[in-house]
Chain A
Amino acid sequence: MIPARKDTAAAIAANRFGLGARPGELEAVARDPQDWLVRQIKGAPPVLAGEGLRPSAETLAKAIELRKQVARERREKKNAGADDDTAQVASALRLPAVYRPVYIDEAYARFAHAIGTAQPFLERLTQFWSNHFAVSIDKIAVLGLAGAMEREAIRPRVTGHFTDLLLAVEKHPTMLLYLDNQASIGPNSKAAGFVGRRGNGRKAGINENLAREILELHTLGVSGGYTQGDVTTFARAISGWSIGGEDSGRKLRRLGVDNGSPGEFHFREIFHEPGAKRLLGKSYGEDGLRQGEAILRDLAMRRETARHVSTKLARHFIADDPPAAVVDRMTHAWLESKAHLPSVYRALIESPESWEQPFGKFKTPADYIYSAHRALGIPLRDKRRSLQAFEALGQRNFMPGSPAGWPDSSADWDGSSGLLKRVAWADAVAQRMGDARNARELAPQLLGDTLSEETAKAIGRAESGSQALTLLLASPEFMRR
């Protein structure tokens, strides 16, 4: 099944499926590399702890309050004739000021966990899902919420069923905000009437952004056989999936409309487009919140979804063009197990193809940074400075730039500038470490027998301890996994 040499298999387990070996770790992995992986996906994942972490609802409630306050102040200033550009700019900067420290705390907690965890395969899976359900902080509205979505919706469900993961993510306020669903209003909903009558030219309507990306990116995949009509229908079904505490207007308040708890998911019944919906050949009766949930449950079980997500998983771990046999086995496991994710992961790690040819993929910048930290035990500095490497190497935390997430092929990362930055960063790290680590002893501990003769030789001939560390981190086998 897996390479006869346990040494090779251990190096593959720790590097291809994990986040890079820590010194001494390969010995333990080598006893049974597959079992080492399987044990990590059993049971509930650990809770991510860290200083400053708080529920997204708390942060978002603050943001909502701030927005109302800013609106109030602007109204007052406008009435007093003093609403100038400077005031506008100043108020626009207040949300980032609240969100940025939260973002730093979240990104740092995740970083510290990744470099210290004894379950690196589980962490790789967590970050895979976080990227599958990507939000990006270049939309300021989610700057203080992106980390919390991973912690609250994704992390606890990585070893459960895909259906639960999907439902948790699509109902998380961060995702609703990122893909604009919170204010999507069905044209025949109760709210549509009020909005239209206010006479400010605003028409109520749906926003199809979230519905489209669920179908295209999160479930069926772009060739999954849905139509523009399915997108629109689905958007109508999930109209009303919103966030509590947003001011829904004085008139609505007087009518006693429930405004939900601030910052939490809230089904705004008055935004919901009523009626049965027909999607992908199946009819869904009017059932409020449950109508959209039923659609998501069905999407999770479709063959197109199973294949699309299995392909992405296999591409992430094995190769840019993953072996068809592996994807077939994973798809089969998905459908057989009713999308039980550990069954899908097992199909992946029990495939012999997963253990062939080391160095199939160029590491992403994040994986490169994690593996260097795990290898050397680099002392951490303050939070902000510890995170600078991600930006410098081109993969800022929670900022893939689009709902498609970070790209996942070697060609997306192996550009020449990206390589030079890695080498330069490795050198800076090595200079900080100086003689505190011995590259000659470390190299076989990190890479097992995937350490090449050339690299071993270069390290042995280095003119200083720190230069030897640079060569180890810059070596072709450490750049890949």
Chain B
Amino acid sequence: MNPTYTRRSFIGTSLFAGASSLMASRLVFAHAPTDARFVFVLLRGALDGLSAVPPVGDPEYPGLRGQIALAKSGEGAVLPLEGPFGLHPALKFLHDSYLAKELAVLHAVASPYRERSHFDAQNVLESGDARPHGSTSGWINRALTALPSGKSREAGVALGANVPLAMRGPAEVASWSPTKITALDDATLARITDLYARDPLLSRRLADALESDAIASEAQAAADAEAGDAAMAMTGVKPATVVERDAQVKRNYNARYAETARAAAGFLKRDDGPRVAMFDTTGWDTHANEGGAQGQLALRLRGLDAAMAALKESLGPVWRSTVVLVATEFGRTAAINGTRGTDHGTGAAAFLLGGAVAGGRVLADWPGLARGNLLDDRDLKPTRDLRTVMKGVLRDHLGVPSAALDGQVFPDSTGARPMDGLIRG
């Protein structure tokens, strides 16, 4: 890695400070020799697909869902999709994207994992291996190493103090995340760099961090200037508006999601920036008081929706070459439990979003919610392997060679054929 960098300061301020909120979220990036952008959004904790994409036309749905069932019409009604499906009313931007044919909704999907542990399920979803703990690297990272390298640089940038499994592996990724700690002086830093010279891991990590920090400083400066200009145009007063906006961000954790997405866009839209990003969030494990059109899950969905809207807005023209995959480790039980929530299930919903997506469709081989059609008498039965979607995107969007998909990227997955036609032709 090139050791010359320009450091201004740590990002001690406003914009990115929200990322370490109560609702955890982080961003990780990697470079790739392509102009296509790919963002993987992982919702940890198991999103309730039957609330995010409620099959309101399925006759069993209202009975199974009881108090948290969403309505087909009237107050708090779902936003209509094709077939028996609707979108949760909190997902307004996603619905607009569906109408603009930039959103494909996937339902009754699952990874190959069939047990109900969050942690093993996330491990399978991130590693790309069919069994939990089958690999210590992730499918995204291995996919990047399979790209025919047109460019020399494959090092990455990660926002977030640590790297999630999906992005770990032979392709180097570093991390960046906001910090309130003041800057080191360059002389001390040079001595630390010397001190690490005989420690390969620490010296690589330090070099990566300093480079990411420099990029983030630029992104921060640009974002501040933009916000300042806009504020000045409206009010003639720059600093107060920026301060006020930041205070709002702190108050509202939904806005923090959006800010994190904007930060991601700041990296992704650079010509020399990373091409792949991962954004993971927690808080989807709704065992109790899940809520319907309003409530806990609605609040989180609104945050997700706002983040996706912010990503599109901030990416500008680059949105046209962007695909976002939003997925979760498994779905939740078809029926409501005793505490107005849902327990761990199997079949889930997922989203493909972006200017490059052949959208405006619900891609589901719907198994139905009638008792005999449920898996183990409790869960939505999965009818599509999520890996077929991942493979379709990797092949048709990022240009990962087919030959690498069945073994290197997703070991022993020949049966899961890449889905055709997910990407706009």
Contact = CB atoms under 8 A, between A and B. Distances in A.
Interface in A160-202: 179-180, 183-185, 187, 200-202
A458 B162 contact: no
A441 interface: no
B88 interface: no
A461 to B, nearest CB: 8
A424 B175 contact: no
Given A222-B132, A415-B175, A458 B195 contact: yes
B163 interface: yes
Nearest to B207: A416
A417 B212 contact: yes
Interface in B277-329: 282-283, 285, 287-288
B337 A207 contact: yes
A187 B119 CA distance: 29
Given A204-B338, A412-B162, A222 B182 contact: no
- Sorting the interface of chain A by its residue count into under 10, 10 to 19, 20 to 34 or 35 or more gives 35 or more
A405 to B, nearest CB: 10
A402 interface: yes
A205 interface: yes
Contacts of A414: 201, 205
A391 B339 contact: no
B318 to A, nearest CB: 24
A458 B161 contact: no
B151 interface: no
A467 B22 CA distance: 34
Given A206-B337, A454-B195, A418 B188 contact: no
Interface stretch (A4-12, A261-269, A469-477): A469-477
B341 interface: yes
A423 B67 CA distance: 51
Contacts of B120: 222
Contacts of B209: 416-417, 419-420
Given A207-B339, A404-B119, A417-B174, A454 B184 contact: no
A105 interface: no
A462 to B, nearest CB: 7
- Sorting the interface of chain B by its residue count into under 10, 10 to 19, 20 to 34 or 35 or more gives 35 or more
Nearest to B182: A428
A84 interface: no
Given A180-B339, A184-B339, A416 B195 contact: no
B192 to A, nearest CB: 5
Nearest to A143: B22
Interface in B142-187: 158-163, 168, 174-177, 179-184, 187
B118 interface: yes
A202 B282 contact: no
A277 interface: no
Given A201-B66, A420-B209, A467-B191, A476 B376 contact: no
A423 B206 contact: yes
B196 interface: yes
Interface in B196-239: 196, 198-199, 201-202, 204-206, 208-210, 212-213
- Which residue of B158, B163, B168 has the most chain A CB atoms within 10 A of its CB atom? B163
- Which residue of B66, B199, B285, B339 has the most chain A CB atoms within 10 A of its CB atom? B339
Interface stretch (A208-216, A280-288, A349-357): A208-216
B107 interface: no
Given A138-B283, A417-B160, A202 B195 contact: no
B117 interface: yes
Contacts of B181: 392, 421, 424-425, 428
Contacts of B67: 200-202
B93 interface: no
Interface in A85-100: none
Nearest to B24: A401
Contact of B282 (A138, A217, A424): A138
Contacts of A137: 22
B365 interface: no
Given A394-B162, A418-B162, A205 B24 contact: no
Interface string A452-468: 00110010001100010
Contacts of B247: none
Contacts of B206: 416, 419-420, 423
B127 to A, nearest CB: 13
A185 B195 contact: no
Contacts of B341: 180, 207
B23 interface: yes
A203 B66 contact: yes
A474 B188 CA distance: 11
B20 interface: yes
A416 B208 contact: yes
Given A222-B132, A416-B212, A458 B338 contact: no
Nearest to A463: B187
Contacts of B136: 411
Interface string A386-424: 001001111010010110100000011111111111011
B344 interface: yes
A79 interface: no
A402 B192 contact: no
Contacts of A463: 187
B66 A222 contact: no
A479 interface: yes
B95 interface: no
B334 to A, nearest CB: 13
Contact of A415 (B158, B338, B343): B158
A207 B341 CA distance: 8
- Which residue of A206, A399, A420, A479 has the most chain B CB atoms within 10 A of its CB atom? A420
A394 B117 CA distance: 25
Given A228-B376, A415-B205, A476-B199, A467 B337 contact: no
B391 to A, nearest CB: 26
A427 interface: yes
A421 B338 contact: no
Given A455-B195, A471-B191, A418 B338 contact: no
B44 interface: yes
A476 B212 contact: no
B143 to A, nearest CB: 19
A393 B376 CA distance: 43
A417 B181 CA distance: 12
A183 B192 contact: no
A385 B376 CA distance: 51
B72 interface: no
A396 B22 CA distance: 10
Contacts of B45: 402
A212 B283 CA distance: 18
Contacts of B366: none
Given A138-B23, A454-B198, 11 more contacts: A179-B287, A183-B339, A187-B338, A202-B67, A216-B119, A393-B161, A394-B20, A416-B176, A417-B179, A420-B210, A467-B187
24 contacts: A138-B22, A185-B338, A203-B338, A205-B339, A206-B337, A207-B288, A207-B339, A402-B45, A411-B136, A414-B205, A415-B174, A415-B205, A416-B174, A418-B175, A419-B205, A420-B179, A421-B177, A423-B192, A424-B179, A424-B182, A424-B184, A471-B188, A471-B191, A471-B195
Interface of A: 137-138, 179-180, 183-185, 187, 200-209, 212, 216-217, 222, 228, 231, 388, 391-394, 396, 399, 401-402, 404, 411-421, 423-425, 427-428, 454-455, 458, 462-463, 467, 470-471, 474-476, 479
